[in-house]
Structure 1
Amino acid sequence: MPDKLADQTLKPRPSSAGASQLVAGGVAPRNGTDANAPAVEFRDIDIAYGRFMAVRNFSLAIRRGSFVTLLGPSGCGKTTVLRSIAGLVDISGGQISIGGRRVDDIPIYRRNIGLVFQSYALFPHKNVFDNVAFGLKYRNVPKADIERKVRRALDMVRLPGSEKKLPSQLSGGQQQRIALARAIVFEPEVLLLDEPLSALDANMREDMRVEIKKIQKATGITAIFVTHDQEEALSMSDQIVVMNAGAVEQIGSPEEVYEMPATAFVADFLGKANMLAGTVTAADAETTTVLLAAGQTVAVVAPKKTLVPGAAITVVVRPQKLSVGSAAMSNRLAGRVVSTSYLGSSAIYEIDIGGKTTVRANTPISGRIAREGEAVDVGFDAADCVLLNENGSRIA
């Protein structure tokens, strides 16, 4: 991160704003903020670049001490939303509040935000101590307090004794830990993490996921995390905001957005669900019967709204819900294996159903693995399905 950007982001706030104090369960509200207000709130914000609307009508309230992930494909607007909180992007409409205090109309340095970037953004010419202490020095914190806070932050990221090292002497994972220490050392109201793990290898990403979550819980800080990685979002979040084309598709817990996708986009983006097109042939208060395009019939648990015969719908089933072989399931489809991917404890099958549909099954390995070209039965339970209407929205 260039010195100029760091100067803008970390410039000291007026002393009247008060110093933060960590308390059990979260960060104590600053002077001038409402203890009962959401930690961060977006109210109908729009962000435009000329005629291009990058974010449209975005609203979200984030409770104190929670870990919220903005999830979506590249270009969906998630990083733009994150940068708007920090004041690095101007909003075109609506408003943003932190702790009940509107911040979209105040300078960057008065927002008291901690930032962790994908590229680490460490000063290469400064040692670890000076990198971590940077924000404290700009806040005119006494020298004795700086030393204590820096050592505490380094202990939290499990890099004690590294104060004199330069970033070039650290691994990628260690540099990201230092970037995290620098972001939390001054106890910001909100911690923003912009795809901080994408530059790390797979094993290091998994370790850092655990570390970031531990630190967030230990400090009680409100964290907003941006990623396009489904596994990161599901494993780390209290709440996930799925975004597409600058708008919110669904907000919910990891279990809610995975098990009950609100739209076809969420079902496909988060976990690559099987989506079986069909037509309702019979419906009552308990069961909806669907004739699939492949010519086979399945029964699913009826939604609250009774569907009429002839209605076009899509049956959504997660790959993990499908069984390949002789397991007893309420629905069984005859198919043929197109491909098999062995993953050690499980296998992923691509299976052709009637020459019209291909489904994916991700199943634990408990016996012989089915091979390409083999005829198999694919089963799933009626309760494991979500129904979408012809517009791609979940039928409640």
Structure 2
Amino acid sequence: MPDSQNLTEAPRPEAAGVAKAGAARPAPVGAEANSPAVEFRNIDIAYGKFVAVRDFSLSIRKGSFVTLLGPSGCGKTTILRSIAGLVDISGGQIMIGGRRVDDVPIYKRNIGLVFQSYALFPHKTVFDNVAFGLKYRNVPKPEIKRRVGKALDMVRLPGSEKKLPSQLSGGQQQRIALARAIVFEPQVLLLDEPLSALDANMREEMRVEIKKIQKETGITAIFVTHDQEEALSMSDRIVVMNAGSAEQIGTPEEVYERPATAFVADFLGKANMLAGMVSGSGQATSVVLASGQTINVACPRTLAQGSKVTVVVRPQKLSVGEAASANRLSGRVVSASYLGGSAIYEVDIGTKANIRANAPISGRVLREGEAIDLGFDPEGCVLLDGDGRRIS
């Protein structure tokens, strides 16, 4: 798979978010207004015998912020580039505003691009960098000046028109890259790991700024990241990618609280995965863990006794020493990390892997080797079948 940074080291019109006027094929009257902003229809992307993306489908509504989330090599950046025309698809269709664009040249796609390496022209001023796409479209000079000024105001860098990129911090350069991508009012804004080169404080600040600008402009945004916190805090919907396919598509709350597969549960938030066997099934399903301890899980289905299952419990769902919880797990503290208002405990409960609890502190922080009781509700967990797919 090509490296996205290589595409941006020598900025080109298309890398600067430029698209000439015109679309490949007209849509029926009214189709654009009623169509999703972006739609993938069963697309495949292959490099020789290697299939990078397989049978991927997704419909994105206008004005939404959708994140493609997954580990390196899962196909998320490849999908993003296919929208822009930087990668050819092997099968399926890509639609933007009701028009098929997968066979449309890149310069005819009305797309704004922001990359992690900024892709600014080092010898051009901030004004010329932001105005590049407008000049390429032959927009009149007074209108260029107005739009550039408005874009710089939106990214909170007014008065910086005469500066060169080398005179700006990394965060400021990323703001200029964002201004350049939105100045010509594209149909879709694509952001390929735009925050990965920034320090932690600047990343958090830019998250807020990008989301704010996206809401103010009403632009449809597609964001690529491997950072779970970025995805959860910024997105209207998250597409969790694995090996070229979508494992789960949903709101941040849906994919976090109710992961569809073991992969989603483990990748998004590092959940506790408790393997066991069904010992009883009724209004709640009883599961016996390897340690011999029994827990109950809310489940709408009747499961066969002896079925292999996995109980998924988020660290935040586990309480420490509270008798009110329906499920109780006893163990010993392996390690404890003090976080101010809460503590993270790693606990040995007699299973193959230790479990983790992130709980508020009441009293003192327990020390290594001390006995600990963990509690959680039957509704506070998810049950997976033997194939790692959600049952409840």
Report the secondary structure of 1:34's partner residue: helix
Shift of 1:346: 1.7
Root mean square deviation, CA, Å: 1.8
Aligned counterpart in structure 1 of residue 339 of structure 2, from 328, 336, 343? 343
Aligned counterpart in structure 2 of residue 14 of structure 1, from 14, 17, 21? 21
Shift of 1:354: 2.0
Aligned to 1:219: 217
Contact 2:191 2:224 in 1 (8 A): yes
Aligned counterpart in structure 2 of residue 353 of structure 1, from 345, 349, 355? 349
Q: Is 1:392 equivalent to 2:379 in the alignment?
A: no
Report the secondary structure of 2:156's partner residue: coil
2 CA distance for matches of 1:11 and 1:30?
25
Q: Cα–Cα, structure 1 residues 133 and 32, in superposed 2: closer, same or farther, change >3 Å?
A: farther
Aligned length: 383
Identity of aligned residues (%): 76
TM-score, L = length of structure 2? 0.94
TM-score, L = length of structure 1? 0.93
Q: Report matched runs for 1:1-396 at 5 Å.
A: 1-2=8-9, 5-6=12-13, 10-14=17-21, 34-284=32-282, 286-302=283-299, 304-354=300-350, 356-396=352-392
Q: Deviations over 1:317-374 (max 9, x none)?
A: 0000011223521011110000111222221110000254410001122320011111
1 CA distance for matches of 2:216 and 2:295?
48
2 CA distance for matches of 1:376 and 1:119?
47
Q: Cα–Cα, structure 1 residues 82 and 334, in superposed 2: closer, same or farther, change >3 Å?
A: same
1 CA distance for matches of 2:220 and 2:29?
17
Query: Any unmatched runs of 5+ in structure 2?
Result: 1-7
1 CA distance for matches of 2:358 and 2:143?
53
Query: Any unmatched runs of 5+ in structure 1?
Result: 18-28
Q: Cα–Cα, structure 1 residues 7 and 61, in superposed 2: closer, same or farther, change >3 Å?
A: closer
Report the secondary structure of 2:354's partner residue: strand
Q: Deviations over 1:106-140 (max 9, x none)?
A: 10011110000001111111110000001000011
Contact 1:38 1:61 in 2 (8 A): yes
Report the secondary structure of 1:280's partner residue: strand
Q: Cα–Cα, structure 1 residues 361 and 127, in superposed 2: closer, same or farther, change >3 Å?
A: same
Q: Cα–Cα, structure 1 residues 292 and 7, in superposed 2: closer, same or farther, change >3 Å?
A: closer
2 CA distance for matches of 1:384 and 1:76?
29
Shift of 1:385: 1.0
Shift of 1:14: 3.4
Q: Cα–Cα, structure 1 residues 255 and 355, in superposed 2: closer, same or farther, change >3 Å?
A: closer
Contact 1:117 1:194 in 2 (8 A): yes
1 CA distance for matches of 2:337 and 2:177?
38
Aligned to 2:4: none
